[in-house]
């Protein structure tokens, strides 16, 4: 099974980001496990370049910088100043914020924790410099300000020969497909199909309970919901197949991409309107943290 890249057309990427996508695709080309690469996702109020979810390894957050050494005037552990007078955040410090945010999301879900209260899978974070190699980083003295665990850096030379273990580690945690579905639903709550309240069970039975109560859109449905370019689409399927969730995910995708847009969902029956209203209410806190504000609901007109 090939790597699922979502969204699967990424024309807005920089040259360096495109290199990373192509490299990750190549790494998983012959792999038979289901993995996901989210391109420019929204992580609460943050915007990492990539989130890679591997059903054997865990989660890796990747930030990419096309910077070349000749453009950098100075860098400390917090910020970087460029020779053109502009400044920005130290990418490692920023990626550590992504890492902490993701761990906070995961650790609040008890089904992702073992008996000791630790995550059942590993979380990693990497910064990839596509315009600087390891020698550039070492010789310039940037290594000292870029060494801020847990995030690790990869230069352009290491990107050329990077392995899956380099992005994660040699350790394998085998979170499995059930846990992967929970991870996806937590990171992107708009793709969650169902989540019933239930009691915490013993470890042996817990994953079966999750499997029965938590479902997320499959990768093809999610790709469809987040597909670009925009246009008209017909969605069909049997009851319970996720049509409403696709509609909701599509609306939220537009909302994240274009915060200034006004998104209107028109339905032709009140039960669906009520269902959509309840789903949006359930997602309100997540949307608010992502900087997406939903102010009103649209209800169908009575048609005799």
Write down the residue that tokens 């980001």 correspond to.
Answer: 17
The pLDDT assigned to 228 comes to 47
Establish if 126 belongs to a structural domain: yes
pLDDT of 42 reads 87
pLDDT at 213: 43
My answer on whether 106 and 9 are in the same domain is yes
pLDDT computed for residue 303 by the predictor: 43
Residue 274: predicted pLDDT: 80
Give residue 214's pLDDT. 46
Per-residue pLDDT at 201? 39
Domain count across the chain: 2
128 and 266 part of one domain: no
Q: Indicate the residue among 159, 182, 205 that finishes a domain.
A: 182
Domain that holds residue 243: 217-289
Is the distance from CB of 2 to CB of 29 less than 8 angstroms?
A: yes
User: What CATH number is given to the structural domain containing 56?
Assistant: 3.40.1350.10
Q: Does some domain include residue 193?
A: no
Tell me phi and psi for residue 132, to 5 degrees: -135, 135
Report yes or no: 225 and 193 within 8 Å, Cβ to Cβ. no
Question: Which positions ≥6 away from 114 have C-beta within 8 Å?
Answer: 120, 203
Contact 240, 248 (CB under 8 A): no
Give the mean pLDDT per block of 10 residues along the chain (304 residues). Answer: 78 92 94 89 92 95 98 97 97 98 94 92 98 96 97 98 96 84 85 49 44 52 58 68 74 75 77 78 63 49 44
The pLDDT assigned to 210 comes to: 42
């Amino acid at each position: 099974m090939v790597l699922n890249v979502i969204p699967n057309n990424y024309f807005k990427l920089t040259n360096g980001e495109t290199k990373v996508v192509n490299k990750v695709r190549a790494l998983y080309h012959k792999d038979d496990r289901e993995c996901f690469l989210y391109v420019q996702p929204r992580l609460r109020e943050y915007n990492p370049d990539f989130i890679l979810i591997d059903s054997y390894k865990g989660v890796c957050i990747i930030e990419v910088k096309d910077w070349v050494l000749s453009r950098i005037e100075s860098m400390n552990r917090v910020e970087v100043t460029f020779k053109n007078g502009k400044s920005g955040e130290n990418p490692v410090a920023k990626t550590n914020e992504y890492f902490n945010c993701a761990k906070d999301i995961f650790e609040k879900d008890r089904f992702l924790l073992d008996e000791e209260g630790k995550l059942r899978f590993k979380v990693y974070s990497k910064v990839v410099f596509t315009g600087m190699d390891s020698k550039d980083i070492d010789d310039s003295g940037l290594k000292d300000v870029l060494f801020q665990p847990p995030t690790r850096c990869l230069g352009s030379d290491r990107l050329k020969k990077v392995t899956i273990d380099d992005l994660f580690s040699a350790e394998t945690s085998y979170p499995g497909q059930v846990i992967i579905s929970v991870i996806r639903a937590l990171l992107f709550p708009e793709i969650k199909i169902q989540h019933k309240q239930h009691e915490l069970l013993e470890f042996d039975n817990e994953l079966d309970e999750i499997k029965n109560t938590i479902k997320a859109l499959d990768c093809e449905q999610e790709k469809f919901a987040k597909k670009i370019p925009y246009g008209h689409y017909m969605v069909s399927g049997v009851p319970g197949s996720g049509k409403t969730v696709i509609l909701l995910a599509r609306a939220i995708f537009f909302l994240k991409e274009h915060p200034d847009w006004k998104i209107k969902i028109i339905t032709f029956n009140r039960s669906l309107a009520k269902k959509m209203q309840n789903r949006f209410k359930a997602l309100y806190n997540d949307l608010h943290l992502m900087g997406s504000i939903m102010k009103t609901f649209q209800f169908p007109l009575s048609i005799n």
